[in-house]
Chain A
Amino acid sequence: GGHYPSLPLGYQNAAPPLTQTLVPVPLSQPLGGPGPAQLSPSLAAMSLQSSTPEALRVVNLLQERNLLPPIPIPPPTPCLQQDLQKINCNPEVFRSTLTSIPQTQSLLNKAKMPLGLLLHPFKDLSQLPVVTSSTIVRCRSCRTYINPFVSFLDQRRWKCNLCYRVNDVPEEFMYNPVSRSYGEPHKRPEVQNATIEFIAPSEYMLRPPQPAVYLFHSSTCVFCQSLLDNIKLPGDSRTKIGFVTFDSTIHFYNLQEGLSQPQMLIVSDIDDIFLPTPDSLLVNLNECKELVQDLLKSLPTLFQKTMETQSALGSALQAAYKLLLPTGGRMSVFQTQLPNLGVGALQSREDPNQRASAKDVQHLSPATDFYKKLALDCSGQQVAVDLFLLSSQYCDLASLGCISRYSAGSVYYYPSYHHQHNPAQVECFQRDLKRYLTRKIGFEAVMRIRCSKGMSIHTFHGNFFVRSTDLLSLPNVNPDAGFAVQMSIEENLDDMQIVSFQAALLYTSSKGERRIRVHTLCLPVVNSLSDIFAGADVQAITGLLACMAVDRSATASLSDARDAMTNAAIDSLASYRQSVLSIQQPGLLAPACLRLFPLFILALLKQKAFRTGTSTRLDDRLFAMCQLKYQPLVYSMLMIHPALYRVDDLSDEGALNINERTVPQPRVLQLSVEKLSREAAFLMDAGTVMYLWVGRSCQPAFLTQVLGVSSYAAVPDNLHLLPELDTAESQRTRAFIGWLRDQRPFFPPLHVIRWVSFLGFIRSNMIEDRTESALSYYEFLLHLQQQISK
């Protein structure tokens, strides 16, 4: 091991020792803001008026070291009346960067924080009210769905909260089927729930709802076993399935009912693709199930024989597109190398010597627009393309990723996939594939986001195609996709107390039902800068800035994006200092709600997507950028700032009782080597992957009772599964890790790492420490302070 970097004196005193027992911190706050950190006595005495809400409490970032609350940060609650806030949309579904909207654009510009919304509209919800109604009540002018924040002028008229037009209540709406009462339209479920799903009548269909159509398009056979295990894909009796494989030629499979075995048809003219037979390449899954299963069992042997190194991905995609053209559906592409043949062939653009360059990174934008054009064609025909990249070499994700980005697909990336040498990645892939095959899916979807009069949306982030100023075309919608939008205030919101936002997602379910999922969010309007700062949601701001930075690195350059992120921190804190603080104190001052902002910005700068000076493969970087834009906020925050826990001293103190399992709740630690120690074991949760570090002098009790080994030296090198031992410590550790995993739909693999391999991770993961190419957290704060005082 090495020496830990020494901290400035003022810092060292504020750090609490690791062995201190922790008192659980109360969560509930009267007005917004996360739980309180420990205040040093001097600041407590100097605090501003006692009526200042918790969120505006002044924090001197240079003096206070322990800013991270012990539990994951909850989203701030908007400052609304109690009855409105109770029915407001769940922040996991719909979240704003500023929970108090500024009244004018100039006020927003003064606050120097981005205004935007982060959505997760198709999230798997445990409780979703579904309404089947012959009339769906909508505003006549702006077509907003009726929602809990409309006002009823009397029993017969309602006023839209987005455009303020007065509408009539239709006769059918006066009857409430839930309570079987008449004359109380405001008690209907549409007006009581901010998240609701309607069954759409035929006016909402451009064509009869399409069946679920799945096409598997691959140059390898890795998916066959998983698909065999999960052959019951979401759908009904009309579900169709098809397969296309390719290398330097394209292979179709005739699965017509009545054939004794699947028939392979090879098309070798890749410049002029045609479909060998008009039908029976896409067959009904229920009728031809045995044939499909036969094919999946025989595909691995087919692939073993070929030793092809050429890949005609572009032509194969065109062929697959032709196949899905009439109906639309989902195409899953499994690719293991750079496509080097035919149309859409790509060159290897990455220079391995430039991976660690401290200057700008090249080749972040697509080399050709073939995949983008094909994605747009697919989007027009309601075909979504999901890309699984299983290659250890450069695959030009910048160009290939376009096929998913504009057709509302998703990108999965397994850089060191090898079925023998890397079982952890194989397991990760299998579990992700299982989730992918079994999760809910919506077809031929469109989403429209409406805002109150005076506000407008100007930029969209996520995987979709923007069809018009507020309409997003999503050939497929899945529960793991997140979206972000940036807004501006076109007219002053002078007379308005509240503004509302509504996201309406119209989709065809896998059972062929046309449905509309509506989420409505309501936020207060304020006209003072201090109120705006009090309502800032630091995690949402970080998420939106990450999306903006990804766009900026593609259009301008990576260093531009990095500067823009640093300037975001500088500008907002400078604005706070000038406009909100009445007493000027030395140090770097921030409101309590933004105290983690510099930490998150530093984490973004050290993130794989944006870091310079550390060797980063181009595809890894691009995949990290894709994930920052695509993932819902809660997972991208874990990716940006992983959660670190000490796990060798788990206790039942403060534990949660879920399903009769006691889940311990260790405290979240700061990402600094100072918090680590060789005598302990730590778990780092980075969203998509987890690391369990075992210290060299770790207590033998932990080694024997949790890892099942007798000594530190006996910890195996690539352990990724905790043994199921009967000891209390093992149960607690597994319960905790299982609880973390249960909170997310995908399966993060666990890597158990010994101390010697640990040093390699310091640079990438311990965000608060200094590396050769990046500042430590304290130095970053000093840099910010210097820039602010200019």
Chain B
Amino acid sequence: MAFTFAAFCYMLALLLTAALIFFAIWHIIAFDELKTDYKNPIDQCNTLNPTVEKVKKIKRIKIAIKLVLPEYLIHFFFCVMFFCAAEWLTLCLNLPLLAYHVWRYMSRPVMSCPGLYDPTTIMNADILAFCQKEGWCKLAFYLLSFFYYLYGMIYVLVSS
């Protein structure tokens, strides 16, 4: 059993997918709270979007630890890792999600801080329904990919 870079990638991916599953569950709960009236949209969007602090002279954007961008960055990191480890099948399976993330971020409403959700439109039933469905689909995808990485890691460990 050789501990190759690919095995290392899969192990790391396994751990990070656990984090992604956690994010997806938080996402689902957040939208459910919004729908059933516990929170109001402004607070919710502030929680889900990263807050931006602009330092005037240097103009650096400091992204606080919030949900949306970390998820996208982690997933992008996976893809880069699998590319480096030459695991093409895994990379191909993750590419659609990467493309979806890019599309989602590009078509977000105009806002000054990085983020996806606009408090004034989020309560529209169709947008709310879309976000909830998105949450569930992502949860399903991350769960499946968790088991896939687990299998992949064992396969790579055993076969080399």
Whether B48 sits at the interface, judged by CB under 8 Å, is: no
Whether A368 sits at the interface, judged by CB under 8 Å, is: yes
Selected contact of A465 from candidates B35, B110, B120, B124, CB within 8 Å: B120
Indicate if the CB atoms of B110 and A376 lie closer than 8 Å.
no
Whether A467 sits at the interface, judged by CB under 8 Å, is: yes
Chain B residue nearest to A456 in the complex (CB):
B125
Whether B58 sits at the interface, judged by CB under 8 Å, is: no
Whether A380 sits at the interface, judged by CB under 8 Å, is: yes
Chain A residue nearest to B40 in the complex (CB):
A467
Name the distance in Å between A591's Cβ and chain B's nearest Cβ. 30
Q: Which residues on B sit within 8 Å (CB–CB) of A370?
A: 112
Indicate if the CB atoms of B112 and A369 lie closer than 8 Å.
yes
> Which interface residue of B34, B40, B56 has the most chain A CB atoms within 10 A?
B40
Q: Which residues from 84 to 123 on chain B have a C-beta closer than 8 Å to any C-beta of chain A?
A: 109-112, 118-120, 123
Provide the bound-state CA to CA distance between A369 and B42, in Å: 14
Indicate if the CB atoms of B110 and A368 lie closer than 8 Å.
yes
Indicate if the CB atoms of B120 and A466 lie closer than 8 Å.
yes
Whether A372 sits at the interface, judged by CB under 8 Å, is: yes
Chain B residue nearest to A366 in the complex (CB):
B110
Indicate if the CB atoms of B42 and A380 lie closer than 8 Å.
yes
Indicate if the CB atoms of B124 and A458 lie closer than 8 Å.
yes
Indicate if the CB atoms of B110 and A467 lie closer than 8 Å.
no
Whether A615 sits at the interface, judged by CB under 8 Å, is: no
Whether A12 sits at the interface, judged by CB under 8 Å, is: no
Whether A702 sits at the interface, judged by CB under 8 Å, is: no
Q: Which residues from 275 to 306 on chain A have a C-beta closer than 8 Å to any C-beta of chain B?
A: none
Q: How many A-B residue pairs have CB under 8 A?
A: 49
Given A467-B41, A468-B37, A469-B37, A365 and B123 touching (CB < 8 A)?
no
Whether A169 sits at the interface, judged by CB under 8 Å, is: no
Indicate if the CB atoms of A372 and B120 lie closer than 8 Å.
yes
Name the distance in Å between A422's Cβ and chain B's nearest Cβ. 34
Q: Which residues on B sit within 8 Å (CB–CB) of A369?
A: 109-112, 118
Interface string of A192-227 (1 = CB under 8 A from B): 000000000000000000000000000000000000
Provide the bound-state CA to CA distance between A369 and B115, in Å: 12
Provide the bound-state CA to CA distance between A767 and B40, in Å: 44
Whether A459 sits at the interface, judged by CB under 8 Å, is: yes
Whether A367 sits at the interface, judged by CB under 8 Å, is: yes
Given A366-B110, A368-B110, A370-B112, A468 and B42 touching (CB < 8 A)?
no
Q: How many residues of A contact B (CB 8 A)?
A: 24
Q: Which residues on B sit within 8 Å (CB–CB) of A380?
A: 42
B interface, how many residues as a size bin? Answer: 10 to 19
Q: Which residues on B sit within 8 Å (CB–CB) of A366?
A: 110
Indicate if the CB atoms of A469 and B120 lie closer than 8 Å.
no
Interface SS of chain B: loop
Q: Which residues on B sit within 8 Å (CB–CB) of A457?
A: 125
Provide the bound-state CA to CA distance between A187 and B85, in Å: 80
Q: Which residues on A sit within 8 Å (CB–CB) of B56?
A: 271
Indicate if the CB atoms of B123 and A468 lie closer than 8 Å.
yes
Q: Which residues from 446 to 462 on chain A have a C-beta closer than 8 Å to any C-beta of chain B?
A: 456-460
Whether A406 sits at the interface, judged by CB under 8 Å, is: yes
Selected contact of A365 from candidates B110, B124, B126, CB within 8 Å: B110
Q: Which residues on A sit within 8 Å (CB–CB) of B111?
A: 369
Indicate if the CB atoms of B123 and A466 lie closer than 8 Å.
yes
Interface string of A391-411 (1 = CB under 8 A from B): 000000000000000100000
Selected contact of B41 from candidates A368, A373, A466, CB within 8 Å: A466
Q: Which residues on B sit within 8 Å (CB–CB) of A466?
A: 41, 120, 123-124
Provide the bound-state CA to CA distance between A366 and B110, in Å: 8
Given A372-B120, A406-B120, A469-B37, A458 and B126 touching (CB < 8 A)?
yes
Provide the bound-state CA to CA distance between A69 and B156, in Å: 80
Given A368-B112, A466-B41, A469-B35, A376 and B126 touching (CB < 8 A)?
no
Interface string of B68-95 (1 = CB under 8 A from A): 0000000000000000000000000000
Interface string of B124-138 (1 = CB under 8 A from A): 111000000000000
Provide the bound-state CA to CA distance between A469 and B37, in Å: 7
> Which interface residue of B42, B112, B120 has the most chain A CB atoms within 10 A?
B120
Indicate if the CB atoms of B110 and A459 lie closer than 8 Å.
no
Name the distance in Å between B123's Cβ and chain A's nearest Cβ. 4
Q: Which residues on B sit within 8 Å (CB–CB) of A456?
A: 125
Provide the bound-state CA to CA distance between A488 and B37, in Å: 19
Indicate if the CB atoms of A376 and B112 lie closer than 8 Å.
no
Chain A residue nearest to B42 in the complex (CB):
A376
Name the distance in Å between B55's Cβ and chain A's nearest Cβ. 13
Indicate if the CB atoms of B125 and A367 lie closer than 8 Å.
no
Name the distance in Å between A320's Cβ and chain B's nearest Cβ. 20
Known: A365-B110, A376-B120, A459-B125. 4 other contacts (CB 8 A): A369-B111, A465-B119, A468-B40, A471-B37
14 A-B pairs with CB atoms under 8 Å apart are: A367-B110, A369-B109, A369-B111, A369-B118, A373-B112, A380-B42, A406-B120, A458-B125, A460-B123, A465-B120, A466-B123, A467-B41, A468-B40, A468-B123
Pairs A-B, 4 closest by C-beta atoms: A458-B125, A466-B123, A369-B111, A468-B37
Which A residues are within 8 Å of any B CB, using their own CB? 271, 365-370, 372-373, 376, 380, 406, 456-460, 465-469, 471, 488
